[in-house]
Amino acid sequence: MPQETPYTGIFPIVPTPFHDDGSLDLDGQKRVLDCMIDQDVDGLCILANYSEQFLLSDAERETLQTLCMEHVAGRVPVIATCSHFSTQVAAARCKRAQEQGAAMVMMMPPYHGALLKAGDQGVFEHFAALSQAIDIPIMIQDAPLSGTNLSVPLLGRIAKELGNVSYFKIEMPGTAGKLRALIEAAGDHIDGPFDGEEGITLMADLDAGATGTMTSGLACEQIRPIVMDFLAGDRAKAEAQYNRMLPLINFENRQCGLRACKTVMQAGGVIKSDAVRHPLEPLPAPTREALLTMANDLDLIAARWGK
């Protein structure tokens, strides 16, 4: 169902900090949330892929969701990622997120591994069930990880027929073209066309009609102005800032992945460890050194917040 004022701007992914032994760092999680809010974000997204959600147990998910919702305490809207191959489990996750005060849920299409996935009708029925289960908006994440082809006609049908499925995070090859086609097909039913992938194609995606982005928590205060200046009509200023940030965005996207944010936050005193859970591996020392040099040169809040 449409928002009176649709969500726009930057809704970064909240990383999950671990101790060196791989256990959850709950105090560190609170500091991460505070640091990200201090980066002037428009909202936060928890338990997503860049949160290492695929390395968390169900009990840990519940612990983290509860902690995040209670600690944010309404300071900014929170999107809770609730994806699961099982429609029944996904619906239960969505209901729990709504009960705890989430402003929105984000969902990938149902898939498991490389080969278990639903066809178009199964995908539609999955989101129809979720739409009936909750009242808050639903964002569909269209990303290569699922291996599922979410065509523009399918996404358009979902937007038109399922009232609260009104946000779409597109991060596929050719994102700008897909955003443009989706807005043309169902724009009156879409509250939030977003992009992702650390904002690596952000300018093209804004030109195509994106009104928000979902990056990591690495450089929100530096990326948010790109979106807001563009939406205010100052494309030249937005493009200048995008060009300034693009080397870091590219380095994060191509060399570091989800490890970048945690590495910079550890160096900046936000968290004690940048550990990732096995079988993920830590950043190689030369990559880490180059990342931190770039972060310090840009005077990122995450690189100095806890010092």
Of 112, 298, 157, nearest to 219 by C-alpha is 298
Provide the 3-class DSSP secondary structure of residue 155: helix
Of 14, 5, 49, nearest to 33 by C-alpha is 14
Are the C-beta atoms of 261 and 48 separated by less than 8 Å?
no
214 is in an annotated binding site: yes
Q: HSE (CB half, 13 Å, CA atoms) of 22? A: 9
Calpha distance 159→166 (Å, rounded): 6
Are the C-beta atoms of 37 and 242 separated by less than 8 Å?
no
Has 262 been annotated as catalytic? no
Calpha distance 46→48 (Å, rounded): 6
* Lateral strand order in the sheet of 78-81: 9-10, 212-213, 192-195, 165-170, 138-142, 104-107, 78-81, 44-46
Catalytic residue (one of 30, 169, 178, 307) = 169
Residue with tokens 């859970």: 277
Of 65, 79, 60, 73, nearest to 34 by C-alpha is 73
Longest dimension (CA), the chain: 52
What are the structure tokens assigned to 162, written together?
A: 């399922």
Q: Which residues are catalytic?
A: 169
- In the annotated binding site for pyruvate, the residues are 214
